[in-house]
Chain A
Amino acid sequence: MAFSEHRLIFKNIDAPGYTRDIACYQKHGGYEILKKGLAMGGPAIREEVKKSQLRGRGGAGFPTGTKWSFIDPAKTTKPIYLICNADESEPGTFKDRQIIYKDPHQLIEGMILSCFANGVKLAYLYIRCEFTEGWKILEKALAEAKAAGFLGKNILQSGYDLEIHVHRGAGAYICGEETGLIESLEGKRAYPRIKPPYFPAVLGLYMCPTIVNNVETLCNVKHIVEMGGDAYAKIGRPNNTGTRLLCVSGDVVKPGYYEFPCGAITLGQLIFNVCGGIRNGRRLKAVIPGGSSAKVLRAGEVYKIKEKDSQGNLVDREVKLEDLRMDFDSLAAAGSMAGSGGVIVMDDTRDMVECLANISTFYAHESCGQCTPCREGVLWLKKILSRVAEGHGRDEDPALLKDVADRIAGRTICAFGEAAAWPVQSFLGKFKEEFQLRIRRNGAAAKRDTISLTH
């Protein structure tokens, strides 16, 4: 059975002859929606976004319309800022890269509409500097948009002024956290701010109301303005509306990026039909469904999920891993999350100790160091996991790892603590026997039977 994509945001990406310059974008109807949006007015756009039930695509899945509603442009006396979070760095995620490199004007149009809707006069596009070509592409696209009158003073004679500047990060994952990003944009170390009181909607950039939205989220705004919030909400499932960009990596035949209505396909269909199944005729062992921070799912698992039946009553349903819908609520109900849409697949040759040690190495490298439980804890997680992986594990190590992870989650200023703890908790909980076996076969006998994933 074939599964055809529903390409809304990726419509023109990889289309033959499609280029990233403004002429090509306009030939395909580009910036027409901006004209429509300017005529609608800001409050109307905000209303449509609310109706669309769009949820943020950066990882947390917070409703965008609600996020915007925390700020009332008519009442606030301070300037309002909007920042596009293009610091894509959640392991397993590579969707924003496609938009930035192949269709930058779609992002810019979505961003201008979002700025206009919220009375923003100055906006920044925070891009990770490892996108060494990406920031140049955006600079060029912004210049093109400005020359065409879509940015700058009096946009399309509407009386609305907007400047957007590109701001490059410098290799720190924590800048993807919105308050860390704001600190970084203020020229400081990217130490996330504590909430309350530093909700970006109140005390954001320069202590002014600030909206931080992901690249994919801002692109969605363009499509919501185009088709209307109600029509957009019909794509996908209730509370999981619109399309979702899914990035699949790891041990599948056809890794890549795909776009489907939210929840339209299951995890099994994504892996086995869309991505051609597991590489080299192997079997599925584990999958991380929403970026490396999401809890791992083990092949063969069955989840008890509460769902509404046709009468609207909540009923328990047993759902196999393969039958999990790829949407926010289903993956959350299975104890993991849709996160940033990065699906990492591992086959049955993979050593879960090595995989987890690799993930923890990432978090140990990326902890900003502000909160002690995280700064010290993730380093110990990495050290203990490395020694287990290298054949020097101790009997008490699995319990020790769990203990350390449990003491990080919930005890930090930002969600990085959870992001670092969840993989450890879930890998240990679901593949306990592998950790014990590795420790039993310690020392000289602990020959690595897989390619080392730790460095």
Chain B
Amino acid sequence: MSVPLHAGTESCVGAEKGEITPVLEKQADELVSRYPISKRSAVLPLLHLWQETFGYIGPRGVEWIARKLSLQEIQVLELVTFYPWFRQQPYGKFHFRVCRTLPCALGGSGKTFAALQKLMNLKADGHEGAMISEDGRFSLEYSECLASCGTAPVVLRNDEFYEKVDEKRATELVAGCQ
């Protein structure tokens, strides 16, 4: 079984849990300082920071960033819904992105994806976007070109990048999720 993920606020799982620590505030302020001409430029960096800290961007993140940069919340939210990297629900503890663009497809990324899907016991729900396992351990989605076409097919597992991931290597990657 898998739970569909959709873009848009209506499907948001609710406010992010966790504390906004002084360390986080300090990191954010350092990022803002890189844009002396316009604080608004710091929206993407702060969205990255928030997502890396809390796992996704919910209403708390949008509000916090908007306040920090003196913006309307919509000016933050419209970026969350525009840029594919940002998500409004948590992904699995191990999130896999499989490149589906032509060179990787020629290299067999479809088989890699199918193998991962089976290993993670995920069912396609007919929606675009990521599939996530019920226990929250795994999630999987296709990604567009990851710029390593010479070593197709390629996979991102969280922040780790893997090349030439055939079905056998895919099995190892899932087994290596500890």
Find out whether the CB atom of A455 lies under 8 angstroms from the CB atom of B102. Answer: no
In the complex, which residues of chain A have a beta carbon less than 8 angstroms from the beta carbon of B111?
Answer: 451
Q: Report how far A90 CA is from B113 CA in the complex, Å.
A: 22
Find out whether the CB atom of B84 lies under 8 angstroms from the CB atom of A172. Answer: yes
Find out whether the CB atom of B38 lies under 8 angstroms from the CB atom of A187. Answer: yes
In the complex, which residues of chain A have a beta carbon less than 8 angstroms from the beta carbon of B75?
Answer: 187-188
Q: Report how far A187 CA is from B86 CA in the complex, Å.
A: 14
The total of chain B residues at the interface (CB under 8 A) is 49
Find out whether the CB atom of B149 lies under 8 angstroms from the CB atom of A168. Answer: no
The binding surface of chain B is classed by DSSP as mixed
Find out whether the CB atom of B79 lies under 8 angstroms from the CB atom of A187. Answer: yes
Do A97 and B100 contact each other (CB < 8 Å), given the known contacts A170-B48, A187-B38, A206-B37?
no
Q: Is A251 engaged at the interface, CB distance under 8 Å to the other chain?
A: yes
Find out whether the CB atom of A451 lies under 8 angstroms from the CB atom of B110. Answer: yes
Give the distance to chain A from B155, nearest Cβ to Cβ, in Å. Answer: 12
Q: Is B136 engaged at the interface, CB distance under 8 Å to the other chain?
A: no
Find out whether the CB atom of B78 lies under 8 angstroms from the CB atom of A189. Answer: yes
Find out whether the CB atom of B38 lies under 8 angstroms from the CB atom of A188. Answer: no
The binding surface of chain A is classed by DSSP as loop
Q: Report how far A88 CA is from B113 CA in the complex, Å.
A: 23
Chain A, interface size category, equals 35 or more
In the complex, which residues of chain B have a beta carbon less than 8 angstroms from the beta carbon of A255?
Answer: 149-152
Chain A residue nearest to B71 (CB atoms) is: A187
Interface contacts (Cβ under 8 Å), in number, total 158
Q: Is B68 engaged at the interface, CB distance under 8 Å to the other chain?
A: no
Give the distance to chain B from A373, nearest Cβ to Cβ, in Å. Answer: 19
Do A358 and B44 contact each other (CB < 8 Å), given the known contacts A132-B156, A173-B144?
no
Stretch at the interface among A9-17, A242-250, A383-391, A435-443: A242-250
B105-120 interface with A by 8 A CB criterion: 105-108, 110-111, 113
Stretch at the interface among A112-120, A122-130, A227-235, A331-339: A122-130
Give the distance to chain B from A293, nearest Cβ to Cβ, in Å. Answer: 12
Chain B residue nearest to A255 (CB atoms) is: B150
Which of B38, B45, B100, B110 interacts with A168 by CB under 8 Å? B45
Find out whether the CB atom of B150 lies under 8 angstroms from the CB atom of A247. Answer: yes
Q: Measuring CB to CB, which residues of chain A are less than 8 angstroms from any residue of chain B?
A: 79, 88-94, 96-97, 122, 128-133, 165, 167-173, 184-190, 206, 247-251, 255-257, 288, 292, 342, 344, 346, 350, 355, 358-359, 361-362, 365-366, 368, 451-453, 455
